[in-house]
Chains A and B, each alone.
Chain A
Amino acid sequence: MRLPPQPSELIDRSSRVIFTFDGLHYGGHPGDTIGSALYANGQRIFSRSFKYHRPRGLLCCSGHCPNCLMTVDGVPNVRVCVEPIRQDAVVESQNVLGSLNRDLLSATDKFGGPFTPVGFYYRTMIRPRRLWPLYEKVLRNLAGLGKVGGATGHARRYDIEHRRARVLVVGGGRAGREAATAAAAEGPGVVLVDEDARHAGVELEGVEVLAPARALGIWEGNLVPVDCGTVLYRYRAERIVVATGALEQPLLFPGNDLVGVMLPSAARRLVRDFAIKPGSRAVVLAADERELEIADDLREAGVEVPRVVDLREMPLSRIDADSHKGRLHGVRLEGRGIRCDLLVVSAGRQPAYSLLAQAGGKVEYDPIKGIFVPTDLPESIEATGSVTGEGCMTVNPYRAEARKGHADKCFVCICEDVTTKDVSRAVAEGFDSIELSKRYTTVTMGPCQGKLCQLPSIRLYARSTGMSEASVGTTTARPPWAPVELGLLAGPHFETARRTAIHFRHEEVGARMMWAGPWKRPYAYGEKPEDEVRAVHESLGLIDVSTLGKILVEGPDAAALLERLYPNRFADMRPGRIRYGVLTSDGGRIMDDGTIGRLADDLYYVTTTSTGADSVTAWFEWWNAVWGYEAEIVNVTGALAALNLAGPLAREALQRLTEADVSDDELKYLDAKEIEVAGIPCLALRIGFVGELGYELHFPSPAGEFLWDRLVEGGARPFGLEPQRILRLEKGHVIIGQDTDSESNLLSANMAWLPKLEKEDFVGKLAVEHFSEREDRERLVGFAMEDDVVPAEGAQVVIEGQPAGRVTSARRSEVVGAVIGLAWLPPDRTSDGTRFEIRVDRRILGARVTSGAFYDSAGERMRS
């Protein structure tokens, strides 16, 4: 049912758009919103309220209130009054049992009132405690908004973009457009943001117009996130002009939420933008010229308007709206009844100051105009137009409650269904600050974020407490100023993973990949990791260790810098040698470990743990900023791949691929040498993390797969992280961060041999000196289980029935013939062979301390 063509209408009557609403087909025109099309089709009930399931209809028609929230194409809580119509859109009502027109849950409105005051669930549902999960389930079904369904989340793509603006103008009304045009005259970089889709086509010379788009808040550093639907622009603006205008405020009277009660803006939009006759008989109660004009619009649209009241001249001490089946059918003004199906009401307009308050501005009450106005704005923030309070005023929105027995509810907050009685009750219960009362009653905490309830609630609160509005004050303005989808804030779905240069080879041969810090690494290649362990012990294994952190330290002071960063010595090393190093903090905490090879007098090659590359680089650079050594620190982790070739056949296999002499005389245990392997320049480090003869080859990443393939062809069997963990445990080698924690120090972790206290200084020296003066609380030792049971990492150590320590690693070792592990024990229980117990599930099992390595304790195999 449309009016004859209106001069300002936005709809294109020449074509039709069809969508479904709760399973039925509806039609509209391009230019309609889903809400306007439904209204034109005669739909009046748009939602059911949060708590009482009262029918609600269009109230603001501007995207501010919660009354038209629906699920559109699976996305919940869409404000259909501003959502453009789309062909084949699937629109569903939400928070109803049955249908919008007949919601079975509306019984809560009839019977629930006296039993469900504010906070009732805190008070009445405490006992019995066991039943709370049931109460919770019921309440969640009764109250609430839409449900997150399958069409959200990963199904929608969101992006975040960083942008700059010289001047960002929020609000595209007259004042905002003028400000944008004036700013554009001074230079480029002007952006105008408006929430209204009607501004989408607006062209302003030199201004980028974003519409429909919502500025969500103003953060420090003039950061303004702008919600453009599926893209979030993070604007940094040199200057921000806020022209968010003013918001029409509801009146508080019994029945003020009935379907048919509307703000003037809603009636105006229906008539002017969508050519819809909003009702047949209307009463208009308003408080300024602009709002009173709506009476003329309505008359022109053929609506009978029996009564227009200017509330400034005739305050009307009592207003009662009467309803039939949830819909307005009359209003009594001070007792005199008028039949009507439309009641256009407004208490006046309040500046939409929220963004300014977030930016650091103050808010003051103007008792003459009855509004809160922003003042004391920060330097780079400006306000223009109605948001400054210009042309705004409100009358006191509160009207007396109706006589007892006939009283309908009077809502101060339609989002959360809070009535004036609830607020009075909160005051009576002693919630004597507006901030506390807000948290108790949840007024202003719903989807409108205070747009329609902040001012009325403050004025009601002032009335109930006898305080002035100025001393009641406002609650803190917080982002977001407009509702936003969480997915938009989260941005694109990234799960960042680091992959080595050989990653896809591992996948090709069916490796089971696992997370290792930020890296994806092969867990094992076959079903049985122990087969891969056996290959390393008996013949030849190959593992991708490209994830190791790799740092070059070069310069005349490189030796001096490392000497001071590490507890042990590096200045006395000959070039071509390698030494193990552990980094500690000044508190003595073990941070990372790795090998340090001296490649030349002024060049060291440092490896770190797989997760430590970035933090160790930063740590080196930080201390170098403190000390200022002449040394350059370069993180080459990504540039180089690394492979560890290990097993008794490693030398022969390597020799077949290189012309360099890799015999034990030329490349001894802990030697580093630059050689070519299969034509690839490599740094070969002879080290033995896995306990067998082994070579770690470091070389340019692009050759990763090539060299891997050559070594596999040479007979090496790939092994994964799990076999490597078994192998290192057999040697009693510690993994920093797994076997150590923030309490571990060099002495307690059995590395007393490492720190060289005769050095003048190193990071952590002061702490180690103190540790050596006192008894450790616990010490890290190896153990073997008496039974063939693998305790979980973290399992409790039990001594004489009391908890006394914990297991950090445990694996079954074929070559040792037992389950072995590492554990923290009291120092007096750490001598070789001492028996202790470990709790495994509900059993207590025996274990014995084993000092030194479990396998090849003399280290002959890796030196062979």
Chain B
Amino acid sequence: MSFLLPCPHCGPRPVDEYAYFGEVTKRPEGTPSLRELSEYVYFRDNVAGPQREWWQHRTGCGEWFLAERDTRTNEVLGVFLPEPTRSIGVGPAGAEPAADAV
């Protein structure tokens, strides 16, 4: 992996400046069943194609952002700053941190 990823602040940088936090998941609302909870925590779509995922410009400006990346070619289709929301089950949220992150 040596593709360039554009940080919303800093522009295109080598991918090794970033930390990857996995595909965007949806945090369950209300009182999820154990199955729903497990799916949110442990299961990922692992698509072969465009995927929306979390990145942090870890050794750069530190910004957290979302990228739309084709997992087959590493072509980055776009990067976005997240639109924060405080509701429990709405908007982007992840579950387990990637192994290299925490």
Chain A residues in the interface with B (C-beta under 8 A): 219-221, 223, 236, 585-587, 589, 591-592, 612, 615-616, 618-619, 621-622, 624-629, 760-761, 766-767, 769-770
Contact = CB atoms under 8 A, between A and B. Distances in A.
B64 A221 contact: no
**Chain B at the A interface: mostly helix, strand, loop or mixed?**
loop
Given A585-B41, A618-B19, A622-B97, 6 more contacts: A220-B1, A612-B102, A615-B97, A616-B102, A622-B94, A769-B31
Contacts of B56: 618, 621-622
B76 to A, nearest CB: 10
Given A615-B101, A766-B37, A767-B37, A627 B62 contact: no
A761 B88 contact: yes
17 contacts: A221-B14, A223-B2, A236-B4, A585-B41, A585-B97, A586-B40, A587-B41, A591-B97, A616-B102, A621-B64, A622-B64, A625-B82, A626-B85, A626-B94, A628-B84, A767-B41, A770-B37
Contacts of B3: 220-221
Contacts of A612: 102
Nearest to A583: B102
Contacts of B34: 770
B60 to A, nearest CB: 13
A220 B72 CA distance: 12
Interface in B1-57: 1-4, 14-15, 19, 21, 27-28, 31-32, 34, 37, 40-42, 54, 56
Contact of B62 (A220, A621, A767): A621
Interface of B: 1-4, 14-15, 19, 21, 27-28, 31-32, 34, 37, 40-42, 54, 56, 58, 62, 64-65, 74, 82, 84-86, 88, 91-97, 101-102
A777 to B, nearest CB: 15
A626 B102 contact: no
A729 B101 CA distance: 29
B84 A626 contact: yes
A240 to B, nearest CB: 14
Given A236-B14, A621-B62, A626 B37 contact: no
Given A625-B82, A766-B37, A618 B101 contact: yes
B98 to A, nearest CB: 10
Contacts of A770: 34, 37
Contacts of A761: 88
B88 A619 contact: no
A619 B98 CA distance: 11
B58 A618 contact: yes
Contact of A591 (B1, B37, B88, B102): B102
A146 B66 CA distance: 49
A591 B96 CA distance: 10
A761 B21 CA distance: 22
Contacts of A585: 41, 95-97, 102
A586 B102 contact: no
Contacts of A223: 2, 14
Contacts of A769: 31
A221 B74 CA distance: 10
A464 B99 CA distance: 50
A538 to B, nearest CB: 39
A143 to B, nearest CB: 34
- Among A585, A626, A628, A767: residue with most chain B CB under 10 A: A626
- Nearest 8 A-B pairs (CB), nearest first? A628-B84, A625-B64, A587-B41, A615-B102, A219-B2, A223-B2, A586-B95, A221-B3
Contacts, number: 85
Contacts of B85: 626-628
A768 B27 CA distance: 15
Contacts of B96: 585-587, 589
Contacts of B15: 221
Contacts of B74: 220
Contacts of A626: 82, 84-85, 91-94
A858 B37 CA distance: 39
Contacts of A587: 41-42, 95-96
A585 to B, nearest CB: 5
A769 B37 CA distance: 11
B91 to A, nearest CB: 7
Contacts of A219: 2
Nearest to B36: A766
Contact of A766 (B4, B32, B102): B32
B84 A625 contact: yes
A628 B85 CA distance: 7
- Among A619, A624, A627: residue with most chain B CB under 10 A: A627
B40 to A, nearest CB: 7
A811 B28 CA distance: 44
A627 B95 contact: no
Nearest to B64: A625
Nearest to B88: A761
A220 B32 CA distance: 42
A221 B101 contact: no
A135 B57 CA distance: 51
B84 A766 contact: no
B100 to A, nearest CB: 9
A621 B84 CA distance: 12
Contacts of A619: 97, 101-102
Contacts of B21: 622
Contacts of A627: 84-86
B37 to A, nearest CB: 5
A628 B92 CA distance: 12
A760 B93 CA distance: 17
A586 B3 CA distance: 31
A589 B42 CA distance: 12
A236 B5 CA distance: 13
Nearest to B28: A766
- Among A586, A591, A619, A769: residue with most chain B CB under 10 A: A586
A220 B1 CA distance: 7
Contacts of B101: 615, 618-619
A628 B27 CA distance: 16
Nearest to A617: B62
A502 to B, nearest CB: 27
B102 A628 contact: no
A764 to B, nearest CB: 10
A591 B94 CA distance: 15
